[in-house]
Structure 1
Amino acid sequence: MNFFETLYACSTTIAVLASFPQVRQLLLAKRSDELNLATWTLWLGTQFVSLTYALSIHNRLLTIINAVWITFYAVMLGLITYYRRNPGGEVDRVPEGTSNEMQTDFSEE
């Protein structure tokens, strides 16, 4: 690797590592109201375009870096969507002592 490839790899590694607190905060807060789903989707889309470019020029370093960013954005989008549907991470649960099976016998006893 030449100097600029090394610099690019190092700076991107730092940027990806610096993004982990965003995921951690989302997991701890269990809310995603303040995060814009459209923005994160756009960022994911641009990484797919970048990945396509990296593959077309056969640049292994760019391909790996774009794949890492795509993974990060996909995780973020998954968490944002999950916490939009389940604020606080709460999932509908069946109360104890009750059955979640549908009653099929309607005859009176």
Structure 2
Amino acid sequence: MIVVTDVNEDRLARAQVIFPPAEAKKAGIDLIFVNTRDIGDVPRYLKDLTGGTGFDDVHVYASVRTVVEQADQILGRDGCLNFFAGPTDTAFSGLLNYAAD
């Protein structure tokens, strides 16, 4: 399963054109696009997609504190969080939980 999230419907629609879920399904991949803008508890919603176990890999492409912190919250046991969005703000930080569940 691959889940792509954003708060902008236009960007999600464009991503679905470039990466059609039906094509991904042919390769055995469940490709899900989720607009998280109006979801009250984003980590819970996303983690529920995994049956509560969390994701093996989470990639963050936006230097937004809440996004980084939510990424940490949806990781499964021994999951890997990749942060690719180099922040220009030298004071940028986010809370991460380093303890195992």
Q: Normalised by the shorter chain, which TM-score bucket? A: under 0.3
- Higher relative contact order structure (alpha carbons within 8 Å, sequence separation ≥ 6): 1
Q: Whose helix fraction is larger, Structure 1's or Structure 2's?
A: 1
Q: Which of structures 1 and 2 has the bigger CA Rg?
A: 1
Q: Whose strand fraction is larger, Structure 1's or Structure 2's?
A: 2
Could you tell me the TM-score, scaled by structure 2's length?
A: 0.27
